[in-house]
Chains A and B, each alone.
Chain A
Amino acid sequence: QPVLTQPTSLSASPGASARFTCTLRSAINVGSYRIYWYQQKPGSLPRYLLRYQSDSDKQQGSGVPSRFSGSKDASTNAGLLLISGLQSEDEADYYCAIWYTSTWVFGGGTKLTVL
């Protein structure tokens, strides 16, 4: 079982919200980890979006709009990225990451299509 599992694709309409999940291996408690999110548009560099540990320990990347937010779902052991008010420019790959046993681990990424 991978350390981090992300759905391969997600589609949503302009103006709607998109919810990305990053599920941690069952033996790894999401509550103990900061979840990092990155966006990569086609042909571009990865961009740091935000990190989320809790509502009192979170950070927005420089210049990242507030319509990008993070949270966790303890019931599914997952980190979440929510994008509200979707725009066509949000179409990209989204990766989660954690610092786990002295290594950085990236999820496989979710491709967002804005229809």
Chain B
Amino acid sequence: DVQLVESGGGVVQPGGSLRLSCAASGFMFDDYAMHWVRQTPGKGLEWVGLISGDADRTYYADSMKGRFTISRDNSRNSLYLQMNSLRAEDTALYYCAKDMGPGYSYGGAYYYYGLDVWGQGTTVTVSS
């Protein structure tokens, strides 16, 4: 079975940094793009970003660009989210999620198949 287990959440002061990890199992990790998505309690889903299966491409939501960095170690079946310059509004439950494929190129642009399996999430609280 596909399994995604996030870790690394916690309480951090505004302006601080945190690194989240996601351990994947049950599928060929490097065959799939991976995502981070966050959710504030009682609110909706907010996509953070994704990394292609070969780690060659990363994409971010505009509000995360420049502060968040997604990486992966395919030899360890692991996904990471480095978060810097954290703000109170970054407080959320952070999920990693598997895409349904590696992505593909068409007409000069890249497309992805969509998120299908989600981890349980790890909570990040930004507070002084």
Q: Does A72 contact B (CB under 8 A)?
A: no
What mask results when residues 95 to 111 of chain B are scored 1 for a CB within 8 Å of chain A, else 0? 10100000000000111
Number of residues on chain B facing chain A (CB within 8 A): 25
- Is the beta-carbon distance between A34 and B59 smaller than 8 angstroms? no
CB closest chain-A residue, reference B57: A102
- Is the beta-carbon distance between B109 and A106 smaller than 8 angstroms? no
Partner of B61 from the list A36, A38, A47, A103 (CB cut-off 8 Å) is: A103
Distance (Å) between the CB of B90 and the closest chain A CB? 17
Take A45-B95, A99-B112 as given contacts and tell me if A105 and B47 are in contact as well, using a CB distance cutoff of 8 Å. Answer: yes
Q: Which residues of B contact A103 (CB under 8 A)?
A: 47, 59-62
Interface secondary structure of A, over-half rule: strand
Q: Does A48 contact B (CB under 8 A)?
A: yes
Assembled-state Cα–Cα distance A80/B60 (Å): 27
What mask results when residues 67 to 104 of chain A are scored 1 for a CB within 8 Å of chain B, else 0? 00000000000000000000000000101010100111
Assembled-state Cα–Cα distance A106/B40 (Å): 14
Take A34-B114, A61-B116 as given contacts and tell me if A95 and B59 are in contact as well, using a CB distance cutoff of 8 Å. Answer: no
Assembled-state Cα–Cα distance A110/B116 (Å): 19
Partner of A45 from the list B46, B112, B120 (CB cut-off 8 Å) is: B120
Assembled-state Cα–Cα distance A48/B37 (Å): 14
Assembled-state Cα–Cα distance A34/B101 (Å): 15
| Contact residues of A between 17 and 69, Cβ < 8 Å to B | 34, 36, 38, 40, 45-48, 51, 61-62
Assembled-state Cα–Cα distance A48/B118 (Å): 9
CB closest chain-B residue, reference A8: B44
Take A45-B118, A45-B120, A51-B114 as given contacts and tell me if A104 and B44 are in contact as well, using a CB distance cutoff of 8 Å. Answer: no
